Amino acid sequence: MFKSSKNLINEQQETILKLTEDNDILLCNIKELENENNSIRKELNELKKSYTILYNKKEKLENILDKSSDKINNLKNKNKELEKQYKTLQDFLMNEFDFLMNEYIKKNNSDKEKLYIIKTNIENLLIKMNSLNENIITAKKISDELGLLGINATIQAAHIGEQGKSVLIVADYIDKVSESLNRNINDIELTLGLYRDEIQNILQKIKTLSISINDNLKNFQQITEQVNNKLITK
């Protein structure tokens, strides 16, 4: 049984209408997919930027770590050198004071010269200590910068997720280096303080001894002059 032409046309129209509706739905779906794709691409670009920034910071952190490691070694070496210099100074002062006491008893004029030598040596050591103190200030700045960069790297890594684990390791290492650097600085500062106090104490003793020597020398000269005058008058 054949369908009439009218029925065929109606069926075709319905089919076309259905296809048109399906096509419209498909176009809407494609549009949504395009929007989602653009959104994903945008997020990927932002993520790439974050990774680039993080990678650059990681490189910077590694460079700073290398420099801070050298600074730490330099501080340790300077601290050892300071201890060596102080031991030498201590031995020198002990010998000099023994010598000065003997000369003081003899009323020998070389006391003044020896006192001057001791003062000069101590002043030179104080200059070296001031130089070391500048290195401590520099090391403190490095330590502070390491701490800030470590915190920043931790925050960045937390946002990025799994790929940020390597940076977390770097940040953790930075914290350890920073703590070690601070402990080293505190030790050196404490040592410097002890050395300065002791040297100032020694300088005060030298000053007192110098005054005493000068007074006794004056008294000795006055007595000598009086004796000479009496000898002349006789």
pLDDT given at position 46:
78
Residue 87 has pLDDT above 60, yes or no: yes
**Residue 29: pLDDT over 60:** yes
pLDDT band at 33 (very low <50, low <70, confident <90, very high): confident
CA–CA separation, 24 vs 216, rounded Å? Answer: 118
Q: What is the mean pLDDT of residues 108-131?
A: 63
- In percent, the amount of the chain with pLDDT more than 90 equals 0
Confidence (pLDDT) at 227: 54
- Alpha-carbon span 209 to 198, nearest angstrom: 16
pLDDT in tens, 147-185: 666 666 666 655 555 555 665 666 666 667 667 666 766
Q: Pick 16 or 5 by higher pLDDT.
A: 16
**Looking only at Cα atoms, what is the longest distance across the chain?**
176
Task: Report pLDDT for 190.
Answer: 73
What pLDDT is recorded for position 126?
64
According to the per-residue pLDDT averaged within each range, which of 8-22, 58-72, 102-116 is highest?
8-22
Of the listed ranges 13-17, 24-28, 64-68, the least confidently predicted one is 64-68
> What is the pTM (predicted TM-score) of this model?
0.40
4: left (phi over 0), alpha (psi -120 to 50) or beta: beta
Question: How do residues 176-230 score in pLDDT, each as one tens digit?
Answer: 766 766 676 667 667 667 766 666 666 676 666 666 666 665 665 665 566 556 5
Q: Which domains does the chain have, with CATH numbers?
A: 53-222 (1.10.287.950)
| Separation CA 157–CA 167 (nearest Å) | 6
Identity (one letter) of the amino acid at 11?
Answer: E
pLDDT of res. 43: 74
How much is the pLDDT for 72? 59
Looking at residue 1, what is its pLDDT? 45
Count of other CB atoms within 10 angstroms of residue 174:
24
